Amino acid sequence: MTNIRTMRAFRTLSLRSLPLIGSCTAALLVPLALPLGGAAQAVDSARGAAPRMAAATQSLPLSPLTPLAGSSDEEGTDDTSGPTLSLAGQGLPPTDTEPFSLLGVVWEDPTEHIEGQVEVRIRDSGTGDWSDWLELDAHPEHAPDPASAKAEGRELRGGTAPRWVGAADAVEARVAPAADAAAESLPDGLSLELINPGELAADAPAPRPQEVPAAGDHVGPRPGIVIRSGWGADESLRESGFVYTDTVKTAFVHHTADTNNYSCSEAPAMIRAIYRYHVVSQGWRDVGYNFFVDRCGTIYEGRAGGVIEPVQGAHTAGFNHNSMGVAVIGTYTGTKPNRDITDALSLLTAWKLGLFDVNAGGSANRTSQGGGKYAKGTTVRMNNISGHRDGFATECPGEELYKALGTVRSTATRLQGR
């Protein structure tokens, strides 16, 4: 790989001297791990992470159901006495499980899609109530480049987008093909994956910094970043090595298409769950995104390899090379991102793109490596801060977040001193 550029000498810059960002930058976290529990606690394979509850994955095979299992005549109740839909397909009847907080459906062939509908409902382990039916995004939008996975000898699996559901202890699922398709059109090896991210002593709000260091000459101020040990990454799950590209030309903004109804103290567990789903359930080398941002504006390191390095992620098929992917936790199709989110995105992109002498407000030609929206070899002019939809046929990062990218670009450009 190209040698990483030496960081310019930093000067200290008070948060109060950043009027473009405002007071909400106080929500950004310093890059350190939080103090952990006492020696009496067993230590898991995450470096320095003391668990209160071990992480785990449950794989529940789906089987043919005709008609598909439903909940009742009125969805969302706890009456599971009879089916509601008369559709051929596959599913899982109401089933008691070990505790979990995130789920998704996977299948054998990563190149296949589900042309139809995937729905689940869960039982809240605290209240005992069943949720309404929740639809999972059945079209894989984030994936490693198939050639690189094959070269590394890994077996990838297709999968829906993962969905955080909170503490649950029972589940029901139904997968229906499109109206004009037979049940046999569904992918082989359908399985419901239930992820328990575990509970760590580190699952608490981190201290907020009073200052951030800033670099000169078009490198924006470095934001506080919660590194992997800070959110409790189990480093034994991922591939031991790292894959780097030459530079970072484009920052692709995503949303996780997940719930917006989460507390920011839950964000580390949500990231651990997504990480486990990507690696254990889908066979990826590591979590797909290079960074995460929660709704309080906290920035988290995603894929391992160093926050200043051009680490290749698995976030925008066709353009994973020479780019970075940052995912905002939540769904922003009809919900506007708040100021904390847009400020965090501005800080992160101004800094990371600036390290590689890239104008946050500019654009560049990018050539597709295939597998996404554009055929391999197609050259496309893209904004240096783009949405996932610019490189892949998807709604991601949601209409409202996509519309906010203009503000992110202009703010990041000014933070770079351009």
Q: What is the pLDDT of residue 287?
A: 96
Mean pLDDT in consecutive groups of 10 residues from the start of the chain, 418 residues: 34 32 32 28 35 82 72 42 55 96 94 89 96 86 59 76 95 90 84 93 49 64 95 94 95 94 95 96 95 97 96 92 97 96 97 96 94 90 96 91 97 95
β-bridge pairing 63-65 and 89-107: antiparallel
Query: How many Å apart are CA 271 and CA 292, to the nearest integer?
Result: 8
* pLDDT at position 16: 27
Q: In this predicted structure, what is the pLDDT of residue 235? A: 95
Q: What is the residue type of 271?
A: I
Check residue 114 and give its pLDDT. 87
Q: How far, in Å, CA of 157 to CA of 251, rounded?
A: 26
pTM of the model: 0.80
pLDDT of residue 143: 61
Question: What was the pLDDT predicted at 321?
Answer: 94
Cis amide prior to 310 (ω within 30 degrees):
no
The pLDDT value recorded for residue 375 is: 92
Other C-beta atoms within 10 Å of 11: how many? Answer: 10
Phi, psi angles (nearest 5°) of residue 186: -70, 150
State the virtual CA torsion across 224, 356, 336, 101 in degrees, nearest 10. -60
Long-range contacts of 263-266 (CB under 8 A, 24+ apart): 264/205, 264/294, 264/295, 264/296, 264/298, 265/203, 265/204, 265/205, 266/164, 266/203
